[in-house]
Amino acid sequence: MSTSSEKIAFISGANRGIGFETAKNLASLGITVVIGARDMSKGETAAKQLQALGYKVEAIHYDADQAKSADSVFEHLNKHYGKLDILVNNAGINQEQLMGSNNSSTVSKEILQQTFHSNLFAVIELTQKLLPLIKKSAAGRIVNLSSILGSLTLHSMPNSPIDPAKAFAYNASKTALNVYTVHLAHELKDTNIKVNSAHPGWVKTELGGDNAPMEVADSYKTSVQLATLDSNGPNGGFFHDGEPLPW
């Protein structure tokens, strides 16, 4: 069981990419980090890398596609720590070409369902399951990994900077995730919990591709900022690197 002063973080999909860098940098602040991984061998490898740096990190199984996976995460965190200070909903998928096409008239029901399940419904399920533990924190923080591609304002403006990126299922799932951020933050506004959406940047990950301008090593910054906000920090916002983004 953790002490009241020890901070505990859970990050979904954190065995690689943005999630791994977020885990590494939160752990470097003295926070105990629990990595959620679909493939436990990869999760254990990631945890051992960070343990070798002297960080308090462990890996547990979490698969958004498996029934009761959120339950098992809750049971582990409750048994071993008794609370949760930081939840980073990092795991997500994309099954479309992000740049240079508009598939709004052709996107399949299957891709819409799979994308919304991973990027929205599973996030809501996990957050709702872990919320009782977050309410035990003196300063709970929930960070939802969104994307600038979820911004309706930017998509609809003339000469939009994201005009070429019209992957409908992915973009719509992130817009909906932002709605969840706003609503949950409003519900929790009189508590010690803050809920915000993060756009990490266009990052050279499997999802972002090789043409992305941001290196993976720099992709943690927005998530870590929002995960470690002080009591005067924002609630119910959408941010990249400390700057607010339009919804």
The residues that are catalytic are 170
Q: Residue 171's Cα: distance from chain center in Å?
A: 15
CB 92 within 8 A of CB 11: no
